[in-house]
Structure formats: C-alpha cells, structure tokens
Structure 1
Amino acid sequence: MAASGRPLEGKTIVIDPGHGGKDPGSIGQLGTIERDMTLQMSKEIEQELMERTGATVLLTREQDEAVDLQQRVDVATEAGADLFLSIHFDAFTTNDVEGMTTYHKNSKDQPIAQAVHDRLMEKDFDTRDRGVRVGDFYVLRENTVPALLLELGYISNEKDETRMRSLQFHKEASEAIVNGVIDYFHEH
C-alpha cells in the first residue's frame, strides 16, 4: 500500500486536453474557446495529481497545437498508462442545455467513470447532472487503456461558461477528478 501522501505511486495517467491549434472546439457566448479551456483545466489536473498522488502524468499537448486523435491514443499506449482522461466542454445548438457528463467506452470502465463523476457531482457546481454514459468517441474507442472523456459543462450555456472561466472552478473540478481517481484505484 502506498504511503498516504502518494496514493497513486507507480501509476501513469495521461490527460488529453481536447482540441487545439487549428481546431478550436466550441466557442461560447462570452468568447471562451474550448481548446484554451481544456488546456488550462488539464494543467490544473496535472498539478493536482502531481502534488497529491505521486502519479506520473503526461499531457497529449502542452500548448495550443493540433494533435490528431490517433497520436493522443498513442501517448497512452506507449506509456502503458493506467488511465486516459480526455477533457472537453460540450456545446449544443440551443443555449439552454447545461450540465456535466462523464463518458466511458465499455462496462469495465464504468466503475472509474462513476467514481470520478460522483466526486464532481458532490461539489455542487449548480449544474445539471447528465450522468455517466457510454460514448463512441475515437479516443475512447481506440484506446487500449481505461479511458474517460469528461464534458465539464456546456460552453454554449452562459451559466456553465461563466463557471468554467473561473479559476475556483478549475481548482475544485481538478480536486474532484483527482479524488475520484484515488477512490477508484484505492478500491481496485
């Protein structure tokens, strides 16, 4: 059992900031660009993991650059990662849709998806709980390691967008995600 200060010692976690470079992802009403938000959020999660868990953390991109989907998956495969976390912010054609969703690809990844999602919902971000769902995203489908895709709010919804621009949210969401990962690996 790892010492309490290093609960994920020996684990490798890949964080994948969605979009980047010529692919901006979604753009919010307040001008928030998804590719920037995902990078900022991913760096916050990386810091939280490194400070609290002793895990090895890799990012699929460290800056605003285009990385194709297969390259993102390859990072996890080559590192023999224990977990791949893809960070996104959703968008919808109407601006009234809000909430957070945690996607996984198959039933064996459901428990870790649930562990992370439960911790996010515990934070009471005043947003809709859109649940844990199976998602047919490339980075989930093609991954050989356990993989989650987190949609941490709707950039197309003003309330969600305002929240995701706050540093407090980045800090709290990172904390929740790391708590969920620790919960899962502690039990398995």
Structure 2
Amino acid sequence: MKRRLLIQLALSAPLLGFGTSGVASLLAAGPVSAATRNPPQRKPEPPAGTANRRLIVIDPGHGGHDPGAIGIKGTLEKEITLDISREIARRLRATRGVAVKLTRESDIFLPLAERVAIARDAGADLFVSIHADSAPNRDARGLSAYTLSDRASDDFAFALAKQENLADGASGIDLRHTRPQVAAILSDLVARHTVTAALMAKGSVVEGAGRSLRLLDNPKRSANFAVLKAPDVPSVLIETGFLSNDRDEELLRDGAQRRRIAEVLSRELAEVMTNAPFA
C-alpha cells in the first residue's frame, strides 16, 4: 500500500537522527537504547493465501472477563459481537479479492491496544470493531458507525468512547516513551489518508445499511475511541444496536436478526473493500 511505502521511504533516511527504525518498532520500542536504535526493518507478511487481496480485520468487541454491555434481560455484548462478527467474516470470505481476519474467534479477552496491533501487524486495509453497547439514554436504538476524532462529534459519541476506553483501563496507544518527533512524523505521514479512508468507509456502510436496517439518529459520528487509533489503518467502530434499549435487545437476542445484521454489514463492507481506493 502506498501509505506504508511512504512511511518506509521517509524513515529510511536519517530523519532527525533516527536511523532506519520502522514505524512499528518505534511505537513499540519504549525508551531508545543502543540495542533498539537500528533494529532490522520488517515488513508485515500478509496472511497465507491473501496475496493480491485486500485484508479486512473484524474485531468482535469485548470478550473473556469483559462482558461489555449487559442488556435488561441479561444479554452479554461479548456474545452478540462474536456471533455477528463470525457471520460477517464467513460471508466476506466468499467475496472475491477480499481476505478476512478476526481479532478473536472465541470468548477471550484482548486489550484494546492488542486489537489495534493485530490489524497493524497483519497489514490490514480496514479495521472494523463490532459492538452493541449501552447508550447514554435508553431511548437510543439503531445502527451507527464511528471514526476517530480528538473531539467527539457530540456528547453521545463522547460518552460511548469514554465507556469503551474503560474496557481495559486504556486511553489509547501509549506514546509516552516515543520520541515526540517520531509521533509527529507518524501523524503527518499517514493521518490524512487514514482519516479519509475511514470516513469514506463509515459513510458507505451507514448509507448502505440504512436501506435495510434501522439507524440511530445522526448515525455517522466520531469520538476518541482507543480501539480506532491505528495510525496507518483506516478504522471504524460499528454499533449494531444498543442493549440498553429493550427493542434493540430483543432484536440482538434473535439469531435470525443477528444473521440479517451480519448479512447487511457484510454486503456493505464487501462493497467498500472492492471499490474503495485503499492503495
């Protein structure tokens, strides 16, 4: 992808005295020592059989000791998201030119930063995190999608992001020990492309899904979600509904309705993956 080539070219020069450290190494290295100043460059290897295919990473929210939202009737968000994500993945795998990876395929806990790392290490073209949270008010219902923004689009999105970021006590990727110049380079090199692609994906999915599914009022929103902070992977969080609403919970408890949601989302994501200018 062009954005990763741009990063490699930029960091292959002795910019600000950083040598040839790759982006992933710089983010993960922590305090710079003699052993980490010039680590070997490593280009992410595409998963087996995914050459020449665009890769989408589907992230079922929550899992393990983190149940996520718990509905009025005891429905667990972690179970809803895993079921819908598996069905989305199954359908997308039948799409020509598209490869799929799940961050989790069973009831396990993954820290938010690890979910981001899975997408980055795989060289994903798009990261989609699936949720069914509790809304700030019980009247809120319907599908909605969110992209990353330092400033939330509204109080509703701000409250959702604050709630989600508590899943493992994270507030985002830890850049405290990353050299300020490196963080600036990362942001400047890839932010424009990543944000543009994420916004396009969000708009396409919401507009397409709205022809078949109920949408939340103002369904395209943004906030500072930790799980969307991959600097070089366009990322979108999709709320399939809200377990805090009794009607949404009834729908999400119904296996046939979950399959319908997955069918609609896989249809729209397939459209995004085959037609969007991710390269």
Q: TM-score range by the shorter chain?
A: 0.7 to 0.9
Are 1:179 and 2:273 counterparts? Answer: no
Q: Measure the CA separation in 1 of the matches of 2:206 and 2:214.
A: 14
Evaluate the alpha carbon distance shift between residue 135 and residue 19 of structure 1 in structure 2; reply closer, same or farther with a 3 A threshold.
same
Match status 1:121 vs 2:210: yes
SS of equivalent to 1:122 = coil
Amino acid at match of 1:155: L
Alpha-carbon RMSD across the aligned residues, in angstroms, is 1.8
> Pick from 197, 201, 224: which aligns with 1:112?
201
TM-score, structure 2 length as denominator? 0.60
Q: Give the structure 2 partner of residue 79 of structure 1.
A: 122
Say if 1:65 and 1:127 are closer, same or farther in 2 by CA, change over 3 A: same
Number of equivalent positions = 179
More strand by share: 1
Cα distance in 1 for partners of 2:124, 2:61 equals: 18
With over 3 angstroms needed to count, the CA separation of the structure-2 counterparts of 1:115 and 1:94, relative to structure 1, is closer
Amino acid at match of 2:114: Q
Matched, 1:157 2:245: yes
- CA deviation string 1:71-127 (max 9, x = no partner): 10111111100110100012135432222210012641211101111122111x345
2:84 corresponds to which residue?
Answer: 41
Q: Which among 144, 154, 168 is matched to residue 101 of structure 1? A: 144
Deviation of 1:54 after TM superposition, in Å, equals: 4.5
* Kept in 2: contact 1:100–1:129 (CA 8 A): no
Alignment correspondent of 1:88: 131
Q: Does 1:13 align with 2:101?
A: no
2:256 maps to what in 1? 168
Matched residues in 2 for 1:164 and 1:72: separation? Answer: 24
Distance 1:88 1:26 in 2: 9
Q: Report the TM-score when normalising by structure 1.
A: 0.87
Give the gaps of 5 or more residues in structure 2. Answer: 1-51, 150-194
Unmatched 5+ stretches in structure 1: 1-8
Query: Could you say what secondary structure the match of 1:52 adopts?
Result: coil
